[in-house]
């Protein structure tokens, strides 16, 4: 039986999400924090906690703990920078919930900001960093193994080989994302996409094409988390948190696991489902961290919606796009909407749970699965959210 909510998201603030550089990450964060506080019907003096999520490709100075002062927050009972790569934003909501449950704080802002697009550097260049996967310092650089695309391409290639699948499975994910994005005015890419369009898209690192990869933007997203019992006293409908979990597989390459089979998602899902008192069959919709199309396939399998290697068949039989039996990434996800790392699935979930998603609004949202991951899918964080 579903249990009582652990906490509630009562405020959402989003800056304009842009493909050009205007101001620094911390300035965007200050704006998003103010918008979230206003949205919750609060003042800055009401906030007693701040959890900061910087991009892992940025230095700590981009979003320092001094953000408290920049944002006009004082006398905080909780302040921290959460660093868990793409799972960080989901983890900030988890940490906020735990702080509220323990009585450490009552109203906590969680914020993410990023500016990968700069006047003198492209997003591709910003993310073109060596991936420490082999356990031998420098070997990745020496072999030209740069960016997460290379790492995920290895996992994707093995997935196709182990399960005898084709890149049409990746296309099905990308097309579903685009169909949702066409209904979302916030989405950055809204042009219709066909299977032929996907096939014509250039390889970035085979078997991943350009249309299999996230679309970075500059911007910031913040939320306010509070006790569930007071959510009704605020002007906006609340998005409640019923369960949460984490799963950390360790370095799957060094330990000999297969990346597409052994990730942290299974453990994160089991813990979150148990805490909420539900199972995967009770989930009405999913908001996955999906920086690459392969991620959605693996998430569907690891979070218990189908068996390993069967995600392509699951999508074909059930549908994850508009009108599908399991709506996934209903704003267009990272591939077509906007890549704000873990803040993308969190923001879309909140819009859906507030019934403010416009043309893409879902009718049944008792249980929504919201996830983030990092470390080439090594570690996962999951939330069960509902109305």
Tokens of 228: 């569930």
pLDDT at 128: 65
The Cα–Cα gap between 44 and 37 comes to 7
pLDDT at 24: 95
Domains of the chain from N-terminus onward: 7-118+215-386 (3.40.47.10)
The Cα–Cα gap between 73 and 83 comes to 21
pLDDT at 151: 83
Q: In degrees, to the nearest 5, what angle opens at C-alpha 85 toward C-alphas 84 and 91?
A: 45
Instruction: Tell the burial category of 2 from Cβ atoms under 10 Å away from its Cβ (0-12, 13-18, 19+).
Output: middle
Could you give the C-alpha distances from 27 to 114, 170, 225, 308, in angstroms and in order? 10, 36, 21, 43
Instruction: Name the stretches of the chain with pLDDT < 70.
Output: 1, 123-124, 126-137, 141, 143, 251-262, 376
pLDDT at 289: 97
pLDDT at 129: 67
Which one-letter DSSP state was computed for residue 118? B
Say how many C-beta atoms besides its own lie within 10 A of residue 120's C-beta: 6
pLDDT at 135: 62
Tokens of 299: 């998430």
């Amino acid at each position: 039986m579903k249990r009582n909510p652990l906490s509630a998201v009562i405020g959402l603030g989003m800056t304009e999400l842009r493909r050009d550089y205007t101001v620094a990450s911390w300035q965007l964060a200050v704006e998003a924090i103010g918008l979230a506080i206003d949205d919750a019907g609060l003042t800055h003096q009401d906030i007693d906690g701040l959890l900061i999520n910087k991009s892992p490709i940025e230095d700590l100075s981009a979003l320092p703990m001094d953000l408290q002062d920049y944002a006009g927050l004082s006398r905080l009972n909780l302040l921290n920078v959460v660093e868990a790569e793409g799972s960080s934003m989901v983890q900030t909501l988890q940490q906020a919930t735990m702080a509220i449950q323990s009585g450490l704080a009552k109203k906590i802002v969680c914020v993410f900001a990023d500016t990968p697009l700069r006047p003198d550097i492209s997003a591709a260049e910003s993310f073109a960093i060596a991936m420490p996967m082999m356990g031998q310092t420098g070997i990745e650089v020496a072999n030209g193994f740069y960016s997460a695309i290379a790492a995920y391409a290895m996992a994707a290639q093995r997935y196709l080989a182990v399960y005898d699948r084709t890149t049409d499975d990746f296309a099905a994910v990308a097309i579903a994302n685009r169909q949702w994005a066409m209904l979302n005015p916030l989405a950055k890419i809204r042009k219709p996409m066909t299977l032929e369009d996907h096939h014509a898209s250039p390889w970035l690192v085979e078997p991943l094409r350009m249309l299999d990869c996230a679309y970075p933007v500059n911007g910031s997203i913040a939320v306010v988390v509070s006790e569930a019992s007071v959510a009704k006293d605020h002007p906006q409908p609340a998005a409640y948190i019923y369960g949460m979990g984490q799963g950390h597989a360790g370095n799957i390459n060094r330990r000999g696991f297969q990346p597409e089979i052994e990730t942290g998602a299974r453990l994160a899902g089991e813990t979150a489902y148990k805490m909420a008192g539900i199972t995967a069959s009770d989930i009405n919709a999913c908001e996955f961290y999906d920086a690459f199309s392969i991620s959605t396939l693996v998430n569907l399998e690891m979070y218990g919606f189908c068996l390993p290697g069967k995600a392509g068949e699951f999508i074909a039989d059930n549908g994850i796009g508009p009108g599908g039996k399991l709506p996934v990434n209903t704003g267009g996800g990272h591939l077509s909407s906007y890549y704000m790392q873990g803040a993308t699935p969190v923001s879309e979930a909140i819009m859906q749970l507030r019934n403010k998603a416009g043309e893409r609004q879902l009718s049944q949202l008792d249980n929504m699965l919201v996830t983030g991951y990092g470390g080439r899918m090594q570690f996962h964080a999951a939330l069960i959210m509902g109305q």
